[in-house]
Structures are given as C-alpha cells and as structure tokens.
C-alpha cells in the first residue's frame, strides 16, 4: 500500500553543496530502488540546533516527501543511520493527516455551500425575525382589539 512520508534530516554544517547533491541523489536512487518515489525535496538551509548533536551547534536541514511502502522507509532510515554526514533524522507518515485535513475541508465547504456565508446567514435570520416593537405600539399603550380609541369622559 502506497503511503506518504516526510523525511527530515540534518547534515553537518560544513558539508559542501556538491556533497549534499550527491547525498540527495543517492537517497533518491535508494527510494526508487525500493519501489517508492520522491515527491519533493526542500533544502531548508543552515539553522541553529536546539541542543548539541554530535558536537555540532548548527546543521543543514533537508526535507523530502516520499511515497512508498514501509519497507522502503526502513531501508532509507538504515542508510541514513550509517551515513556519516547525517547527524539526525526523523520520518513521519503524513497521509492520514492529509486525509483528515481533506475531510475537514469538505465539511467546511459543505456548510458554506448550504448556508452561504456567515453574514448571509445572519441577514436571513434577521429577515425571518418579527419587527421590533416601537414605543408608540407597545402592548401597554396600544388599544385593545375591538375597542375604539374614543376619549373617555367622566
């Protein structure tokens, strides 16, 4: 079953650009060889690490979106574990999150299509409400039904 994963890894801050290219190309061939595909690659640049990792304070962050099976992820993680320039990595399955977000978006779109916008819904409610009573037509001052408003003489 094809699933979608995000693979974020951090490489040494002193790694050259061409070495980064070789590492990414190697990972892409590994993913392809394991029956998966690389959807996107993003180089996030050099950033400060939250804590010291293998005596490094900084690292170059990279993000890959992969599609494939669990065996492919296991093989890529094994390769990352033995690759010396990689100081940290994490893989997260994101297809369930994408399904959940799509479902929420569909629900919101259905509500908006059904009622219109919130302003339109508020206007429709206001149109259905009875008109407010004016001071001269309040029940206390209005004449009773069937009676005339003739002056009362005493």
Tokens representing 48 are: 């400060």
User: Can you list the alpha helix ranges (DSSP code H) found in 83-141?
Assistant: 95-115, 118-128
Average the pLDDT over 126-152 and give the result.
59
pLDDT by residue (tens digit) across 64-107? 999 999 999 999 999 999 999 999 999 999 988 888 888 899 89
Tokens representing 126 are: 């206001």
- Parse the chain into domains and list their residue ranges: 3-95
Give me the CATH topology for the region 3-95.
Alpha-Beta Plaits (3.30.70)
Lowest mean pLDDT among 31-35, 56-60, 71-75, 119-123: 119-123
| pTM: predicted TM-score of the whole model, two decimal places | 0.65
Q: In this structure, what are the phi and psi dihedrals at residue 39, rounded to the nearest 5 degrees?
A: -80, -45
The mean pLDDT of the chain is 84
């Amino acid at each position: 079953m094809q699933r979608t994963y995000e693979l974020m890894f951090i490489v040494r801050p002193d790694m050259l650009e061409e070495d980064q290219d070789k590492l990414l190309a190697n990972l892409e061939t590994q993913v392809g060889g394991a029956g998966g595909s690389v959807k996107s690659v993003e180089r996030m640049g050099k950033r400060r690490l939250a804590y010291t990792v293998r005596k490094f304070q900084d690292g170059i962050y990279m993000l890959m979106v992969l599609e494939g099976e669990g065996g492919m992820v296991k093989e890529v993680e094994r390769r990352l574990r033995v690759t010396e320039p990689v100081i940290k990595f994490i893989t997260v399955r994101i297809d369930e999150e994408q399904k959940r977000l799509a479902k929420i978006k569909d629900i919101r779109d259905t509500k908006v299509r059904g009622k219109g916008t919130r302003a339109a819904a508020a206007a429709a409610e206001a149109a259905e409400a009875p008109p407010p009573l004016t001071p001269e037509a309040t029940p206390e001052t209005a004449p009773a039904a069937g009676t005339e408003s003739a002056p009362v003489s005493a």
